[in-house]
Amino acid sequence: MFTAILIMGGLGAIVGIGLAAASKIFYVYVDPQILAVDEELPGANCGGCGFPGCMSNAEAIVAGDSPPTSCVAAGSDVAEAIAGIMGVAVLATEPDIAKSGCYFNTEDADVKYIYNGLEDCRAASLLNGGMKVCSIGCLGLGSCAKACPFNAIVMGPEGLPVVDDKLCTGCGTCERVCPKQIITLSSVTRRILKEYTIEECTTPCQRSCPAGIDIREYIKQITLGDYNRAVQVIKERNPFPTVIGRICPRPCENECRRGYEDEPVAINYLKRFAADYEMKSGKSILPFKAPDTDRKLAVIGGGVQGLSAAYFSARLGHDTTVYEASPELGGLLNTAISEYRLSSDILNWDINGIKEMGVTAKTEVMLGKDFGIDTLLAEGYEAVFLASGGWDSRLVRNPDGPEEQIPGTYLLIDMMKKFASGKKVSCKRNVVIAGGGKMAYDAAIIARERGAANVTIIFREGQGLADIGSVDIESAEKESINFLFNTAITQISGKGSNLSEIEYIDLASGEKAIIGADNLFFAAGRFPEMIFINTPVETDEEAETENSEAKKSDQEEKPQGPVAWTGMEPYKQPMYADQVGLFAQGDVLTDFSAAIKAIAAGRRAAASMHQIMYGLDVALPNTVVTPDSMIQNVHSVSNVKTNQRKIMPLTDAKNLPNVGTLEQGYNENDARAEASRCLQCGLICYEKESPVVHIAESA
C-alpha cells in the first residue's frame, strides 16, 4: 500500500511539474483590452459583424480592423462602452440596409435551367455559372434569406428576396453568401459614391442617362400614384428635376426598348410631372442624407455643376458653402435659355431645394478679389472645389473680373489679349504653358521677353501630332524654351497665393515628375475642374512631441503662415476612366453641352472630395459601365402591344405671352397612362403583356 502511495505521489509530482512547464511553454497571452471589449459584447456569436465570434470581433476592434459599432446585435450603449475602452469617440453613422438588385424571378425571366435537387444559390452558380438567359439574374433559391441571422429577409411571392428595413442591421451576411451580387448593402453614401458596374442589373435608359437616374423605379412609382417617392428617386441623382424636366436633351429616350414596338416612353415629361407635383405642393421633398460629419467643404461657382457638387456633398453629411461671383445662382441657366422654356421661378424652386438640403450660398464674392483658395483652406475648409464655368460663363457673369483664379494660373487667351493690347505683363521665373499649339510657342517667346527665365510647353500629343508648325525645337530649347510631348499635368501645388510646382506624367511610360512653376497658362476656354486640399507637411515626430506645447502657445499668439496646398482633378467620367491628367479626352474645355452632364460632373466632384478626405481610393473599378462595355441587351421585344405615346400639350402661340410657358405638362391621368407604357426593364428582361410559355431543360 505504501509503495502504491509513493508511486501515485510520484506520478502526481511528475504530472504537476509537466503541467507547470507546459503552462510556461504554451502560455497564450490575451490582451486585457481584448478581454474588456469581449465582456461588453453580448456573446451572441451571430457572425453579423463579419467575424466568426465575439472574441474574434473583439480582437479585430482592438487591432483597428473593426469599429466599436461593428456589433449588429448590440445597441448604441455597447458601442459607446467599447469606444470608452478604446479611448475613441463614436460618431453618428448612417445604417447600411440590404437591397435586392433583381426585378424578375426565374419564372418570369427566360429560364435555361431548372435547378432540380439544389437548394443553395452558391451550389447552383457552380453549375455552368448558374446561367440563365440573364447571366447575372437572381437564382431564387433563397440562400440570403437562410443565412440572415436576424430573419430580415424572406423570399417574396415573386421568388425574389424581400428585405425588412426595420429588422435589417446591415451586417452584410446576405451580401457575402450571394454568388451573383444580387443582394448588396446600400446607404446614402454608397449610392452617391457609386458608379454602375457590369455586374449590376442596369436598364438601357439608366445607362444612357449622364446622371444615372433610376428611371425604371421613378416611373414605377408614378404608376402606383406615389409621386413623393418618385421625386425622391429622381433626387437621388438629380437636384434639378423641375429644370431638367424642361430642358433635357433626353438621351435616355433614344435607348428606350419601347421604341422597338412603337415610340419611346416620355421619360423626361414624366420627370417633369413628378417635379411639378412637388412644386405645386409648395413643400420640398428631400432625399435621404448621411449624418453630419463635422467637415467643411467649399465650392467655387454657383452654376449647375457647382450647385450639384454642393448638393451631393451636403447629402454626404458635410457642411458645404457655395461662393458665386454674380448676384444670382444658376450660372448660364439664368441667361442662356428662353423664359418660355425655363422661367426664373422654376430655376429658383430647384435652387431653394438645394439650399434646404443644407447648402449655404454666398453671392457677389469673387475668387481672386474677395477671397482665394488658400484663404478658404486657412478658414478650415478641408477641401475646395473649383467649378467656375467656361468662357461663356465668365463673359456673362464678370467679364472684367480677375483673371487669376488659381494662384499663379491664367488662361492663355487672357495672357495673349493683354500682350496684344499693350498692357504691361510680367512673368515670373518659371513658366509652364499647357497646350495651345503654335500659339503656345508665341506666348513662350513673349514670356521670355517679359522676364521668364525658363519656359516649358506641355503637349498631350506626341511631337508629330502637336500643332506647332515649323517651330525649330532645338533652337527654342537653346533659348530656355523646353518642350514636353505626350505629357499631362496631374497636380499643381503652392503656398499661400503663390504657385510653386506642377506634377506631370509621361503618358507612354506612366512615370511622374515634378518641375518648378511660378506661372501656369492653360490653352482652354475654362479653368480645369480641380479639388484643392491642404498639403500635409512632414515633421520630425520627436521634435514635434517635445515642442508641442510651445507650438500650441505660439499658434495662439501668432497668426498662421501661408497655407501649403495641392490641387488635383476629380475622377473622370466612366467613359474616359482610362484617361489621366487635366484636360484629357472627354474633359470639358468650356461650358457643358447639357445641364444633365454638369449635374453628373458635380456628383463626381462631391464623391472625389469625400474619398480624398477619408483616404479612400478615387480610381474607378475596372468593371465600371461605359458605352463600350459588353453588356447583355435585347434588340427586339415580343408580346408588347402597340400603345402610342401621350403628346405633351402645348400653349397656343397667341396665348403664350399670357401663359408664359410653351409646354403645359401632363395632367395626372396622362402621366399615369404614359408611365404604364414603361416595360419595367431589367438587363434583358421586361414586362410582357401576355403570358409566354418557356420550355426549360432540367439541370
User: Which domain-ending residue is among 193, 210, 237?
Assistant: 193
Measured between alpha carbons, how far is 316 from 385 in angstroms, rounded to an integer?
A: 15
Q: CB burial class (10 A; 0-12, 13-18, 19+) of residue 327?
A: exposed
Please check whether residue 408 is in contact with residue 431, taking contact to mean a CB–CB distance below 8 angstroms: no
Query: Do 413 and 521 belong together in one domain?
Result: yes
pLDDT of residue 34: 79
Strands (E), 291-333: 296-300, 319-324
281 located within any domain: no
Residue 240 located in a structural domain: no
Task: Give the pLDDT confidence score for residue 255 in this predicted structure.
Answer: 95
CB atoms within 10 A of CB 408: 20
Residue 120: which CATH number?
Answer: 3.30.70.20
Q: What residues are paired with 367 via a beta bridge?
A: 371
Cβ partners under 8 Å of residue 627, min gap 6: 575
C-alpha to C-alpha distance for 231 and 238, rounded to whole angstroms: 10
Dihedral of CA atoms 410, 413, 415, 420 in degrees, nearest 10, equals -170
CA–CA separation, 610 vs 328, rounded Å? 27
Q: Rounded to whole angstroms, what are the CA distances from 384 to 199, 299, 380, 421, 605?
A: 34, 6, 10, 34, 10
Cell numbers given for 474: 532645338
84 and 101, same structural domain?
no
206 has a pLDDT exceeding 50: yes
For 125, 144, 185, 201, the CA distances from 179, given in Å and listed in that order, are 7, 10, 14, 14
Q: What per-residue confidence (pLDDT) applies to 329?
A: 95
- Rounded Cα distance, 540 and 548, in Å: 11
Terminal CA-CA length for the chain: 74
**Residue 228 lies inside a defined structural domain of this protein:** no
431 with 509, same domain: the answer is: yes
Domain boundary among 505, 526, 547: 526
For the stretch 501-542, pLDDT in tens is: 999 999 999 999 999 999 999 999 889 999 999 987 655 544
User: Which of 303-307, 619-623, 680-684 is the most confident on average?
Assistant: 303-307
Contact (Cβ atoms closer than 8 angstroms) between residue 121 and residue 130: yes
Asked whether residue 459 falls in the same domain as residue 507, the answer is yes
Same domain, 511 and 438: yes
- For 220-252, the pLDDT digits (tens) are 999 999 999 999 999 999 999 999 999 999 999
What is the rounded distance in angstroms from the CA atom of residue 235 to the CA atom of residue 245?
12
**Bridge pairing between strands 697-698 and 113-114:** parallel
DSSP-assigned letter for residue 408: T
Q: Which three cell numbers stand for residue 376?
A: 478658404
Tell me how many degrees the CA angle 386-363-389 measures, rounded to the nearest 5: 35
Beta-bridge mates of residue 483: 457
| Per-residue pLDDT tens over the stretch 74-107 | 766 777 777 777 665 555 556 778 888 888 766 6
Collapsed DSSP state (helix, strand, coil) of residue 697: strand
- pLDDT band per the 50, 70, 90 thresholds, residue 417: confident
Radius of gyration of the chain (CA): 31
What does the mean pLDDT of the chain come to? 85
567 exposure class (CB count in 10 Å sphere: 0-12, 13-18, 19+): buried
Q: SS3 of 135, please?
A: coil
Instruction: Determine, yes or no, domain membership for 117.
Output: yes
Say whether both 109 and 189 belong to one domain: yes
Based on the fold, state whether residues 37 and 122 are members of the same structural domain: no
Range of the domain at 65: 27-90
Q: What nine digits make up the cell of 25?
A: 511553454
In a domain? residue 343: no
286: left (phi over 0), alpha (psi -120 to 50) or beta: beta
Contacts of 291 (CB under 8 A, 6+ apart): 91, 92, 93, 94, 317
Selection from 316, 382, 306, 322 nearest residue 566 by Cα: 382
Residue 596 in any domain: the answer is no
The predicted-structure confidence for 260-318, as pLDDT tens digits, reads as follows 999 999 999 999 999 999 999 999 999 999 999 999 999 999 999 999 999 999 999 99
- What average pLDDT does the segment 596-608 reach? 97
- pLDDT at position 287, please? 92
- Domain holding 427: CATH number? 3.50.50.60
| Domain assignment of residue 356, yes or no | no
Q: Is 663 strand, coil or helix?
A: strand
Residues 86 and 104 in one domain: no
- Stated pTM of the model: 0.85
The model's pLDDT over 108-160, given as tens digits with 9 standing for 90+, comes to 655 556 667 788 888 888 876 776 678 888 888 899 999 999 899 999 988 88
The CATH number for 73's domain is 1.10.15.40
- Domain co-membership, 86 together with 102: no
Residue 558's pLDDT band, with cuts at 50, 70 and 90, is very low
Instruction: Tell me the pLDDT tens digit for each residue of 5-51.
Output: 656 666 666 666 665 665 555 555 667 777 887 888 877 677 667 67
Q: Let me know if residue 341 belongs to a domain.
A: no
Averaged pLDDT, 351-372: 94
- Distance CA(386)–CA(376), nearest Å, equals 12
Antiparallel, parallel or unpaired: β 296-300 and 383-386: parallel
The type of residue at 291 is: P
Confidence of residue 207 (pLDDT cuts 50, 70, 90): very high
Q: Evaluate whether 307 touches 329 at the Cβ level (below 8 Å).
A: yes
Q: Which helix (H) or strand (E) holds 454?
A: strand 454-458
Same domain for 79 and 118?
no
How far is the C-alpha of 20 from the C-alpha of 24, rounded, in Å? 6
pLDDT for the residue 542: 42
Q: Is 204 left (phi over 0), alpha (psi -120 to 50) or beta?
A: alpha
Are residues 119 and 34 part of one domain? no
Same domain? For 411 and 520 the reply is yes
Mean pLDDT of all residues in 349-377: 95
- 524-540: buried (b, 16+ CB within 10 Å) or exposed (e) per residue? bbbbbbbbbbbeeeeee
Among candidate residues 486, 509, 526, the one where a domain is terminated:
526
pLDDT at residue 648, rounded to an integer: 87
Q: Which residues contact 369 (CB under 8 A, 6 or more apart)?
A: 401, 402
CB 441 within 8 A of CB 457: yes
pLDDT at 463 over 80: yes
Return the pLDDT at 282: 94
DSSP letter (8 states) at residue 650: B
Report the domain count for the chain. Answer: 3
State the CB neighbour count (10 A cutoff) for residue 316: 24
Assess contact for 414 and 442: CB atoms under 8 A: no
